[in-house]
Amino acid sequence: MNKVAFTSRNLYLQVLLILVLILLVALPFYTSAYNIMLLCNILMYIIITVSWVLFSGPTGYISLASAAFFGVGIYTSAVLGQSLPLPLVIIIGGLFSFFLALLVGVITLRLRGMYFSIFTFGLVELVKHFLLWWEITKTNTRGRFVILVNYIHVFYIMLAIFLVLLLIAYLIRRSKYGLALQSIGEYEEAAAHIGINVTLLKVVTFAVSSFFIGTVGAVMATRWTYIDPVIAFDPFYSFMPVLMAIFGGMGQLYGPVIGAAIFAYLEEALITRFPYHYMLIFGIIMVVSILYLPEGLIGLLQKLWKIINSGRLAVYREKRQKRGTGREQENA
Amino acid sequence: MLELNNINAFYGKVQSLWDLSLKVEEAEIVALVGANGAGKTTLLNTICGLMSPASGSVSFLGRRIDGLTPHSIVEMGLSHIPESGRVFPDMTVRENLEMGAYPYHAWKMKEETLKQVFQIFPRLEEREGQLARTLSGGEKQMLAMGRGLMSRPRLCMFDEPSYGLAPKLVLEVFRIVNSLREHGITVLLVEQNVRHTLEIADRAYVLENGRMVLEGSGAELLQSDYVKKAYLGL
């Protein structure tokens, strides 16, 4: 891999990224409301997945708490949506998730492997049942209405959150903290030995990733009009990011983005076409991708890229060899 | 430079260090030798902040460091190079080394330090882009040592750097540890390879069952009947 090829590939990526961005910004002007809402849904999954990968990807701590942070965002929106402007509600939703993650992080990040995953999953249920109890005994409400927001606004807000998240994920990856997170995943004790403040780094990254999940919850709540704790804290949103990240591949930043985009689109397409069998088809796709795509879609693409390149090289070598032997024969 | 006074430490209810005192002066190579289970690694973990002593004090550069977190101790200039193989397997040699420069003050000078480390370990420069998991045992040890030096330490603690290495590499490791003097780095060397260790050490301590049993210059200990009988098989 020489340097020139690397930078030119980066340039292609940047140009592609800007083109996609322009396309997305202009989208509401020439497509239907249904498509915009579908895109919002896809963006939602992408943001949750990229946030999840931000922490769980490099460190290997598999968090199943995404649904808890998502739900906190949703509930913030339901409770404060009537009295505060939307941008403020979104930021508050993110901050609530941030602080919940800080608290949980301080308590649980001493746990490793399975224990951490199980605890984070328990957190979803814990928050859900606490809220249920609170709503029934203290506020006498079972569900809440959320103020509807223009779908085009929702779309632009989601796009903005996505871009900010992408930028932050990119900056973390490039900085020494990205490498430090990876070193925690590879050998936590050695990471502590070389002077990394392991606990602080883990807790803060976990909280930052939760912030974004919270903001998305706050925005998307406006699409659902009615929510209650059971709807808001659906464990489905804990498992989806894990599946999508595995499906896309976590080695690169664009892996989870592409994985989540395809997966979310697939979900929508399958639900509309095979409403009774879509879960079955979903399951089969998942099993196949785990069995045959250990590095996800991105891993597959990289392999194909390598094969194409090495194929070119082989053809080139063959040509040269033929020319060489031809000359030798002439000489003889 | 480093001073331990009357350290007692426990693993649960079992006492593993008994009233230990130890001193390392600037620019010295001090060795700590002893058999398996004598408490050498426990002692190093206590110094670098991974464990805290039940009683006694640890001070470094005149400041109490017992009770501080490992990363703040590293930032003060004390580097602990754990037993071999503890490198980050799926990161390249270069990334491993860069991570060694993680503390704030070291990060700013990492390119410069990297050059120096490559001078000490030319082998690592050859393998710069390779994943650490593909290195041989000796190379991994070199990498762990190089990574420890990347934080620009004043004092380096080595935990059995020669463990599991071929005899030729063992000599190489001791040569390198000895050469750190020229870079102004003080060394606390923990080893089971008693002969080589005592040959390069200015002073040495012998640890048995969590207690210091002997103390003296490297040459003195090499001549002592006790060490000859118990550790050198003479």
Strand order in the sheet with B78-81: B78-81, B155-159, B186-191, B29-33, B203-208, B211-217
Domain chopping of chain A, boundaries? 32-293
- Secondary structure element (H or E) that encloses residue B178, with its range: helix B167-179
* Predicted-complex ipTM score: 0.86
Does B132 reside within a domain? yes
Nearest to B91 among A183, A189, A196 (CB): A183
Does B197 reside within a domain? no
Contact B74/A191, CB-based, under 8 Å? no
Contact B82/A193, CB-based, under 8 Å? yes
Per-residue b/e over A85-96, b at no fewer than 16 CB within 10 Å?
Answer: ebeebbbbbbbb
Which residues of chain A are within 8 Å of residue B90 when distances are taken between CB atoms?
182, 186
pLDDT at position A18 is 86
Residue B125's domain comprises 2-189+209-231
Which residues of chain B are within 8 Å of residue A182 when distances are taken between CB atoms?
88, 90-91
Whole-number Å distance between alpha carbons of B172 and B193: 13
Which residues of chain B are within 8 Å of residue A183 when distances are taken between CB atoms?
88, 91, 99
pLDDT at position A1 is 36
pLDDT higher than 80, residue A310: no
Overall number of domains in chain B? 1
Q: Which of A9-13, A92-96, B147-151 has the lowest mean pLDDT?
A: A9-13
Average model confidence (pLDDT) for chain B? 90
Nearest CA in chain A to B90: A186
Whole-number Å distance between alpha carbons of A260 and A168: 18
pLDDT at position A318 is 65
Nearest CA in chain B to A188: B88
- Residue B59: other Cβ atoms inside 10 A: 14
Locate all alpha helices (DSSP H) within chain A, ordered by sequence: 3-26, 33-59, 66-80, 86-108, 113-134, 151-174, 176-186, 188-193, 198-224, 229-232, 236-248, 254-273, 278-292, 296-331
Does B27 reside within a domain? yes
Average model confidence (pLDDT) for chain A? 86
Token pair for A122: 């328990």
Does B103 reside within a domain? yes
Contact A194/B107, CB-based, under 8 Å? no
Nearest to A183 among B71, B99, B103 (CB): B99
Q: Which of A179, A194, A200, A203 to mutate to test the interface with B (most CBs of B within 10 A)?
A: A194
Which residues of chain A are within 8 Å of residue B88 when distances are taken between CB atoms?
182-183, 186-187, 190-191
Query: What is the distance in angstroms between the Cα of A210 and the nearest Cα belonging to chain B?
Result: 25
Spatial CB neighbours of A36, under 8 Å, sequence gap ≥ 6: A27, A28, A151, A152, A155
Spatial CB neighbours of B119, under 8 Å, sequence gap ≥ 6: none
pLDDT at position A289 is 82
Give the confidence band of A312 by pLDDT, cuts at 50, 70, 90: low
Does B195 reside within a domain? no
Whole-number Å distance between alpha carbons of B106 and B44: 22
Give the confidence band of A332 by pLDDT, cuts at 50, 70, 90: very low
Nearest CA in chain A to B88: A186
A57 vs B85 pLDDT, higher one: A57
Nearest CA in chain B to A185: B88
Which residues of chain A are within 8 Å of residue B133 when distances are taken between CB atoms?
none
Q: Which of A51-60, A195-204, A304-313 has the lowest mean pLDDT?
A: A304-313
Which residues of chain A are within 8 Å of residue B100 when distances are taken between CB atoms?
194
Query: What is the distance in angstroms between the Cα of B84 and the nearest Cα belonging to chain A?
Result: 11
Which residues of chain A are within 8 Å of residue B70 when distances are taken between CB atoms?
192-193, 195
Contact B71/A195, CB-based, under 8 Å? yes
| Count of pairs with CB atoms under 8 A, one residue in A, one in B | 65
Provide residues of A within 8 Å CB-CB of chain B. Answer: 176, 179-180, 182-183, 186-187, 189-198
Average pLDDT over residues A84-100: 95
pLDDT in tens, A146-179: 888 888 999 999 999 999 999 999 999 889 999 9
CATH number at residue B14: 3.40.50.300
Does B25 reside within a domain? yes
Nearest to A190 among B74, B88, B151 (CB): B88
> Tokens 């491993």 belong to which residue?
B96
Average pLDDT over residues A274-289: 84
